[in-house]
């Protein structure tokens, strides 16, 4: 695992660099990325294990921005678009499903429906304005990977928002108006500035970049180290 020093984000509202408080964690993620969901569970385990408070914000990263909203192909078709050969597909899926099971997730590629994720990322941004971003991220990922729900259409996404207690009509209006396209694009521009080329990607305290779905123990070690640094800085 490689930790990369990142340039600080001058627009950050985190006060973590100036005193005690939760550890700031910015996560670049795509709804279509299985390792992003697996990594989410591993990171959550690390937080639960350490008891260290964190402040998490998710940022958009589209792995397949050219995919249509109504993609008619199978998982094999999608992976071929992503550059995998026939011989690679089955071992890859077996590895992903196995890794998901180790963190309590039940991926179902027989029913999974690929789609363009731009609108899903917009919904996550809207949910952030409602104080429910993390809940929305979890709901969309579960709907996509475990339940075979369509996560690229306005009506279906509004349904998911309602399922976590948000106002369906407000969600629908935000999606139909493309209100958060600029925010999604800003996330992706920031990713390019940071040199992020794959997800998940974690930036701790606006300074340290960690790629990939690391083991919970690795995440826990990072959190403990940063928490100690914050305590030292506060003395």
Q: How confident is the model at residue 13 (pLDDT cuts 50, 70, 90)?
A: very low
**Residue 74 Cα distances to 13, 66, 81, 177, angstroms:** 42, 16, 11, 30
Q: What is the pLDDT of residues 87-97, one digit of tens each?
A: 999 999 999 99
Helix (H) / strand (E) containing 208: strand 208-211
What is the rounded CA–CA span in Å between residue 198 and residue 66? 16
**Arithmetic mean of pLDDT over the chain:** 93
Rounded to two decimals, the pTM is 0.92
The pLDDT of residue 17? 37
Residue range 175-197: mean pLDDT, rounded: 98
Are the CB atoms for 199 and 61 separated by under 8 Å? yes
Beta-bridge partners for 27: 58, 202
Q: Domain 4-11+21-234 belongs to what topology?
A: Glutaredoxin (3.40.30)
Nearest in space to 146 (alpha carbons), one of 60, 44, 40, 37: 37
Going by C-beta distance under 8 Å and a sequence separation of 6 or more, which residues neighbour residue 138? 40
Are the CB atoms for 203 and 26 separated by under 8 Å? yes
Residue ranges per structural domain of the chain: 4-11+21-234
The pLDDT of residue 235? 86
Q: What is the pLDDT of residues 95-151, one digit of tens each?
A: 999 999 999 999 999 999 999 999 999 999 999 999 999 999 999 999 999 999 999
CB atoms within 10 A of CB 223: 22
**Residue 68 Cα distances to 115, 116, 119, 173, 233, angstroms:** 6, 5, 12, 21, 49
The pLDDT of residue 209? 97
What is the rounded CA–CA span in Å between residue 90 and residue 94? 6
CB atoms within 10 A of CB 138: 16
């Amino acid at each position: 695992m490689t930790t990369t020093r990142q340039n600080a984000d001058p627009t950050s509202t985190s006060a973590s660099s100036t005193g005690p408080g939760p550890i700031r964690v910015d996560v670049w993620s795509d709804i279509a990325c299985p390792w992003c969901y697996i990594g989410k569970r591993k990171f959550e385990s690390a937080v639960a294990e350490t008891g260290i408070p964190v402040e998490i914000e998710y940022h958009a990263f589209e792995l397949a921005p050219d995919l249509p909203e109504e993609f008619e192909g199978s998982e094999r078709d999608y992976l071929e678009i992503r550059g995998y050969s026939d011989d690679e597909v089955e071992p890859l899926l077996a590895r992903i499903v196995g890794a998901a099971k180790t963190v309590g997730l039940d991926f179902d590629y027989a029913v999974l429906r690929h789609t363009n994720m731009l609108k899903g990322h917009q919904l996550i941004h809207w949910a952030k304005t409602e104080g429910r971003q993390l809940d929305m991220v979890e709901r969309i990922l579960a709907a996509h990977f475990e339940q075979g729900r369509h996560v690229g259409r306005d009506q279906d996404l509004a349904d998911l928002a309602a399922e976590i207690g948000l106002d369906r009509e407000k969600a629908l209006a935000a999606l139909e108006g493309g209100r958060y396209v600029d925010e999604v694009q800003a996330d992706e521009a920031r990713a390019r500035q940071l040199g992020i080329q794959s997800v998940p990607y974690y930036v701790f305290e606006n300074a340290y970049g960690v790629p990939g779905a690391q083991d919970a123990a690795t995440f826990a070690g990072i959190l403990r180290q940063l928490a100690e640094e914050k305590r030292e800085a506060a003395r």
